[in-house]
Structure 1
């Protein structure tokens, strides 16, 4: 925590010193952290709560490490995870290669549609051991007897969630261990994991 706080302070001091030189103190997301400081904190200049834990980035002592929100127990899951992709993605509409991103397939074996999902995922850098963790509550419906895909990328279509452009996923070329948990209200969570090969978030495979 001390490292994060000192990094936050250093970033804010740097941004203050650069304001006069750049004649801009722009804070696009209004979180109190100037845009020029967000890359130093690995936070998203377009999202005031980068890790999705409910805390404003400036007030958050660790703004890219949300605690796990999944709840122990619950009814036996009627859903399961299919593919978890971090590379070799394909655009479902055009059937062409897509830029590498996190993509989770959820199957619903139950008799009722699934909504109100909570998704929690972590990234661990294979070289440095640095970790990030994010919470999303995607507006996705997984139809009864069907499946849906959740994308963490730059897309704006349904099922596409905003990726943090300053995340380890983008800024580190090391391999990464990725874990995913998905939970529907009242049900037990389901988990999965995948390894990402060394390399950045590629433009397309």
Structure 2
């Protein structure tokens, strides 16, 4: 007997319990009502929460993308500087910002870096639950320069949308965070950081 993807199973359960709930708004048109997305830890505004190319409804684990990182490749011309998950600062407002994933990337090469993949993971230190996401940031990292990639509310240039139902935001446990960056044809670079236990992610 074939096992149903968790999203489909929950959707069927909601429809059985309350047809009114099943007909609730579905902002990202992924087939999962917005009201059910928190139960799955999926993003109601992203039909493919983990970025693996499989829509959330059909995905057997919609918040755990398999790693897209390839082995080998030419020596990387880029490197990760800071990897922040707390004590973030808003450089424009010059004040503390809510905790979020922030990646500083240096480009030591002679060409702008535009074609690259970011693969990042969260592991809940209490429960062992993991999440893994794939994104392709539209953030140019200039030759001989640097840029910062933010995964948060996603409304400003250089900022990507974070999943609001992720364990990063919903679990008070400490978390182990990894970020792996890879440009086409080059070796990947990786950084890790620990996030302290805490509640809602407010500005420090």
Bin the TM-score by the shorter chain.
Answer: over 0.9
Provide the C-alpha distance between the structure 1 equivalents of 2:194 and 2:149, rounded to a whole number of angstroms: 18
SS of 1:14's partner is helix
Which blocks of at least 5 consecutive residues in structure 2 are unaligned?
A: none
- Residues 15 and 90 of structure 1: is their aligned pair in 2 closer, same or farther, counting only changes over 3 Å? farther
Aligned equivalent of 2:83: 84
Aligned equivalent of 2:68: 69
Provide the C-alpha distance between the structure 2 equivalents of 1:16 and 1:148, rounded to a whole number of angstroms: 49
- Residues 6 and 181 of structure 1: is their aligned pair in 2 closer, same or farther, counting only changes over 3 Å? closer
Provide the C-alpha distance between the structure 2 equivalents of 1:3 and 1:168, rounded to a whole number of angstroms: 25
Matched, 1:38 2:37: yes
**Number of aligned residues:** 203
1:71-91 C-alpha deviation (Å, 9 max, x unpaired): 111110010000000000000
Aligned equivalent of 2:18: 18
Give 1:92 deviation, angstroms. 1.4
Give 1:45 deviation, angstroms. 0.4
Q: Is the 8 A contact 2:5 2:59 kept in 1?
A: no
Provide the C-alpha distance between the structure 2 equivalents of 1:13 and 1:121, rounded to a whole number of angstroms: 31
Provide the C-alpha distance between the structure 2 equivalents of 1:200 and 1:15, rounded to a whole number of angstroms: 33
- Residues 182 and 23 of structure 1: is their aligned pair in 2 closer, same or farther, counting only changes over 3 Å? closer
Give the structure-1-normalised TM-score. 0.93
Superposition pairs of residues 1-205 of structure 1, within 5 angstroms: 5-6=5-6, 8-20=8-20, 24-205=23-204
Give 1:94 deviation, angstroms. 1.4
Give 1:112 deviation, angstroms. 1.1
